[in-house]
Structure 1
């Protein structure tokens, strides 16, 4: 018989310290592209093979805005680069794309405003440090975009890494339930912060509270006779009636209705009862994000007691994670779909998840079997305004992201082993400063290659990313 695994805190801490032999703390400072590094443009183009062709120019234009915008869509290139580097071998459930704009505020089921990770399309098991490195490289790029000096960028990166390390050490000493209940409550954050930083938190919270389902309803719908329908704003929002003719429209509408019926089974019993109180009204294709542009994404309008009681759901295609096949031989749950993989990652890593979060698959949409996940389109959601951040603001934000990522990994991995690996010194924090700068250099080079390859393409005019 296989002997039982020693799960005592002492054994877990010993495993964490032992990981330093294969991945020394100071070694995280290094980044050098592998000699056989794949062409980054080819990697990105390969992602587009099964996407909606007429939407790809929007993706390319959004990526071409800046190196940071390109980085948002280039999780696949970073996954390849990290796979070629030494690994701690300490596995956690990862966000998979933990750049700074994939954190934000949203409403918990208790109607409290919380700060957390908010994108899990790439979620997958892997070395915990991959998420941390994706975060700090994004902070370095953001600092460059805002014209911060290198010393300022270094302070931001080191502060984020230090807060991750210190938070992980704190979580390592906590009881399981205390880790699970921990979260960044925006009202509590505002009370702890004074002066301008507190006012910024207060303003961000107030703005997020206006971004609710009713606000989205009035923004994304128009009055059609005595009923509201989804508005037309091509190519970013296209109602199904405009997208395809009668027979094809009826077929797709039936497929989405069937998908929603299957999605209902992924909800808890109380949420199913709530979902059943709403009726289908309309459907439209929506363009979202940067890296996701070209995947199939639908907005579904439903209403409850009347037109003043709306529910907007986002039905988004879930493809394979960019980490799949790149993280080595790690234990992977037996997911039956990528939609379930995304939902599983969100439920593990987020402190509180959307009550309508679920998944299902559908056959025949664009001729293929496709996986989807479903969530509310907007529920007190808000994100960082990168352009308005000064060095102190980015430093504060980076700290908050570092703490939040540690809390997620404490739920998704072995917090005791990770904390023991990191230790109490600043070696890891300091090592990530040169790494972040080196990876920002690599991203700028990849961005230049991308824009050169795309220079012959016809640009189209699009509205700002939402």
Structure 2
């Protein structure tokens, strides 16, 4: 066939997605990309110009000042928790290196702890990606690199040596490549409906799994089913004067009454009510009708995650006709993606909408109550929010408790899930052609992950030194 000159196709809007291109043209594009940016070159680590501590300090301006010391405390627990909170640091390091420009909707923070178990609307338990605060269109390998490096870093923390770490990292990269090549041979509708049903996985009894490993996985699944809205209500609230109220657990959970005077509380409750009303307009009619059956009872500030600490996050208690019918929504501030400064991406008018639409693109089954709304704070500053159910069958696997064999199986599951998410939004045939049938890509990702784990340790040490010198303030939670 005639070779296509894809370099003349213009800006991002023409490069991604190439929904109108034929299979032959998409595969040709992937092979041409391989000649322009070799798979071997993806091993190269080009650190950003700014040091890690400066990047993290730069994020302080848009955060709640009193929570910043807690953020640093969580990041300094270990090199892995540092990595979890340092997505902005890695974005700067990825931004200067070689890249394929085969664009997909990136998670932006695809480390191994951002995969887990979630409920589908049909009440099936799925294994999928979580946390889309940094989602943004960009080159597919950025997510793969973040995933691979997370396995190396987490396994170092668990005491595994290079001989044990390398096969696990390779398993993640290889699973991604193989699954993407499989999706390249499927129809777009087949890819769209693809998912990982955890009950089906357990029913098939993964090959080689011991009774102990199978029992551990089954226990995690059972625990996920117990972590629903009503469990969250029981855990986070207590009955005061006959009404449910959030329990005070500062600094993680602080009820409104402890944050401000009564007059300001009334004003903020009115503000939350307006936020909910606007958010409801982003839901489908049936889900909006469901929300209308509840009324606002109480609000609390809740600290979540590692990297998100310091951004505004609220939990909102709603009840129906009686207090036994309760639901907790989370309203979380969405700021600009850490990837945005390094990519010529689309103009974003609402960061909450960016998160919601990115999540819907990547997840097989999203939270049916997921929506967004901008709001002007009491101080007059606009903040963008996205809202979701606080807990709806949620479970995670502890990498620090896994054996090498369990980590290998988990790495494959994460790699396959990431490939499915990318195949839904990007040009899977072009990416598959770029990846190829050999292990050149896998080896390059392994080399990058090893180099990045070394850099992560150095960056962690730099933050520790900043804390020891008093350059940053650290305040561990009680």
TM-score by length of 2: 0.93
SS in 2 for 1:115: strand
Distance 2:335 2:59 in 1: 10
1:30 and 2:37 correspond: no
Name the counterpart of 1:261. Answer: 277
RMSD: 1.6
1:351 and 2:367 correspond: no
Name the counterpart of 2:236. Answer: 220
Name the counterpart of 1:462. Answer: 477
Structure 2: runs of 5+ lacking an equivalent: 1-8
Shift in alpha-carbon separation, 1:197–1:17, aligned structure 2, 3 A: farther
Distance 1:458 1:8 in 2: 56
Q: Deviations over 1:55-89 (max 9, x none)?
A: 11110100000111000011111111111011101
Name the counterpart of 1:18. Answer: 32
The structural deviation recorded for 1:22 is 2.3
SS in 2 for 1:184: coil
The structural deviation recorded for 1:254 is 1.0
Distance 1:461 1:292 in 2: 16
Distance 2:249 2:160 in 1: 37
Distance 1:80 1:281 in 2: 42
Shift in alpha-carbon separation, 1:458–1:80, aligned structure 2, 3 A: closer
SS in 1 for 2:159: coil
SS in 2 for 1:189: helix
Name the counterpart of 1:134. Answer: 146
Tell me if structure 1 keeps the 8 A contact 2:37–2:100: yes
1:369 and 2:382 correspond: yes
Distance 1:197 1:179 in 2: 30
1:339 and 2:352 correspond: yes
Distance 1:377 1:365 in 2: 24
Name the counterpart of 2:189. Answer: 177
Distance 1:345 1:198 in 2: 33
SS in 2 for 1:49: helix
2:122 to 110, 113, 121: 110
The structural deviation recorded for 1:392 is 1.3
Distance 1:138 1:78 in 2: 11
Distance 2:297 2:372 in 1: 20
SS in 2 for 1:424: coil
1:380-419 alignment to 2 at 5 Å? 380-419=393-432
The structural deviation recorded for 1:198 is 3.0
Distance 1:224 1:371 in 2: 32
Tell me if structure 1 keeps the 8 A contact 2:46–2:96: no
Tell me if structure 2 keeps the 8 A contact 1:168–1:415: yes
Tell me if structure 1 keeps the 8 A contact 2:42–2:99: no
Tell me if structure 1 keeps the 8 A contact 2:46–2:94: no
1:272 to 288, 297, 303: 288
TM-score by length of 1: 0.95
SS in 1 for 2:266: helix
Name the counterpart of 1:121. Answer: 133
The structural deviation recorded for 1:424 is 0.4
Name the counterpart of 2:22. Answer: 8
Tell me if structure 2 keeps the 8 A contact 1:189–1:201: no
The structural deviation recorded for 1:366 is 4.0
Tell me if structure 2 keeps the 8 A contact 1:315–1:373: yes
Say how many residue pairs are matched.
457
Tell me if structure 2 keeps the 8 A contact 1:122–1:322: yes
1:249 and 2:265 correspond: yes
Structure 1: runs of 5+ lacking an equivalent: none
1:95 to 79, 104, 107: 107
